[in-house]
Amino acid sequence: MSRWRQADSISDWLGRFHNPDLEARFSRHVRAESAAHVVTSGLVAAAMFAAFGLSDYALLGGDDPAMAGLITLRAIVVTAILALVMAVRRRPALVDRVWPVNAVIALGITAIILIVPLRPETIDTQAPAVMVSVIAVYLFFPNRTPWRLAQSLYLSAGFMLAAWLLAPVPAKAMTAYILLLILVNVVGLLTAMRLSRLRREQYATLLEEREVNDRLQSEIAARQHLESRLTRMVRTDELTGLNNRRRVQELAEQVLRLARREDSPVTVCMVDLDHFKSINDRFGHGAGDSVLVRVAECLREALRESDILGRFGGEEFMVVLPRTGLDEAGEMAERLRRAVSGLGEQDFGLPLRVTATLGLAELEPGERTIDPALNRADEALFEGKRQGRNRVLVARPSAARRQPAAE
């Protein structure tokens, strides 16, 4: 059983939610529909009361003393009903209050009962009208079940008492009227209770569907967030937020395909921080991580939007420079070196200075992957380390590959 049906079950007798807050929510949910029912039922009832006035005039004529009383009674009821209709149209919330609707219904019922002494000779036609009115009270006016029952019993008992005292009704006919009114009240009450329960069960089902839908939406959002996080983990270096080595190679393949179509150069750059181990040994790995993060930011700021930057591993970074030959790449690498060497205590909060050695290599014709150029750039980088660090070395193509030239 669902949470709604466990915690907010419906009363078998009243046809209402046991939970008052849920009942109030249901009332707000059906308020517009209930107001429309009151307006429609009120207009029909007013029209019926007015139409029966014409019947009174046809039977009694304008000179009968009872005619004035009937016209006055019907005019009062029609006016009250129309006033209720107008009020509910302006303020639909009135249907949730006890007195506005019940007061007008009680007035109409009183008028029906008073018609018996004013027109006792029409008791045979009034009895069916009373039975129809009882059913209407149960089915068409949005009252609570106890009020529906009270109004219907008032109409039934009042009509039978007036008929017994003031109209010539034979005993057998009176017995038939009583049995028929009891049957009508039982059927009307059971029907009203069933309809009230069904409407609330439908509302509970709607709440369940919304709850399930909200849960599904939350699960979908959580799954999408997890997938996005996993994608970032697969593609991104967790510490620096840069592309990891695999992602750089994936992006480099796209760059290579474009370069082959355009016949444009591509250069790769390896960046290695000098004496990084001494930073970890002297200040701790936390300080080393801070240095890597700040250097990553520095490299990102110094590169173009089209350049591909990633962390190769440890203190080593790699850059893929599309549409860039060695000469232009050398200038960019020198700019990167100066940017890194410009970092100091103001950036790390520690008395240290960071420098970097960079190696460059351009992809050669016929190379289908970035790996050969990476290897040459790595060789140039290590040659720069041997020459004293904090410099840019370029791996020249073909025959000059094994003899990198310093700037």
The CATH number for 399's domain is 3.30.70.270
Q: Does the structure show a pLDDT above 90 at 167? A: no
Q: Which of 23, 219, 227, 315 is catalytic?
A: 315
Nearest alpha carbon to residue 276 among 226, 340, 214? 340
49 lies in the same domain as 186: yes
pLDDT at 405: 40
Q: Count the domains in the chain.
A: 2
Instruction: Identify whether residues 143 and 267 lie together within a single domain.
Output: no
Nearest CA among 6, 382, 388 for reference residue 402? 382
404 DSSP 8-state letter: -
pLDDT of 294-315, one tens digit each? 999 999 999 999 999 999 888 9
Sole residue written with tokens 């997938």:
227
- Residues spanned by the domain of 162: 3-213
- Residue 7 pLDDT > 50, yes or no? no
Whether residues 207 and 250 share a domain: the answer is: no
Residue 199 lies in a domain: yes
| Lowest model confidence (mean pLDDT) among 15-19, 77-81, 87-91 | 15-19
* Residue 8: per-residue pLDDT: 54
- Reported in sequence order, the residue ranges of 138-216 that DSSP labels E, i.e. its strands, are none
Residue 33 is a catalytic residue: no
pLDDT of residue 183: 94
Whether residue 275 lies inside any domain: the answer is: yes
Alpha-carbon gap, residue 71 to 50, rounded angstroms: 9
Residues 273, 159 within the same domain: no
221 located within any domain: no
Task: Read off the pLDDT band of 353 (50, 70, 90).
Answer: confident
Chain length of the chain:
407
- Single out the residue of 286, 382, 370 nearest to residue 322, CA to CA: 370
pTM score of the predicted model: 0.58
Averaged pLDDT score across all residues of the chain: 87
121 class by beta-carbon count within 10 Å (0-12 exposed, 13-18 middle, 19+ buried): exposed
Domain membership flag for residue 368: yes
Residue 6 has pLDDT above 70, yes or no: no
> Which of 191, 213, 235 is the last residue in one of the domains?
213
Give the confidence band of 400 by pLDDT, cuts at 50, 70, 90: very low
Label residues 31-44 b or e (16+ Cβ within 10 Å = b).
Answer: beebbebbbebbee
- In angstroms, the Cα distances linking 36 to 152, 320, 335, 397 are 22, 70, 76, 86
Query: pLDDT-derived band of residue 55, with 50, 70 and 90 as boundaries?
Result: confident
Residue 280 counted as domain residue? yes
Q: Residue 406: is its pLDDT beyond 70?
A: no
Alpha-carbon gap, residue 128 to 124, rounded angstroms: 7
Helices (runs of H) and strands (runs of E) counted in the chain: 14, 6
Q: Considering the domain boundaries, does residue 224 fall inside one?
A: no
Residue 62: pLDDT over 70 = no
The angle at the Cα of 148, spanning 143 to 152, to the nearest 5 degrees, equals 150
Q: In this structure, is residue 273 part of a structural domain? A: yes
Q: Percent of the chain beyond pLDDT 90?
A: 42
Classify residue 397: in a domain, yes or no: yes
Q: How confident is the model at residue 403 (pLDDT cuts 50, 70, 90)?
A: very low
Confidence of residue 2 (pLDDT cuts 50, 70, 90): low
- Read off the pLDDT of each residue in 2-17 and give the average, rounded to a whole number: 68
Q: Are 240 and 303 in contact (CB under 8 A)?
A: no
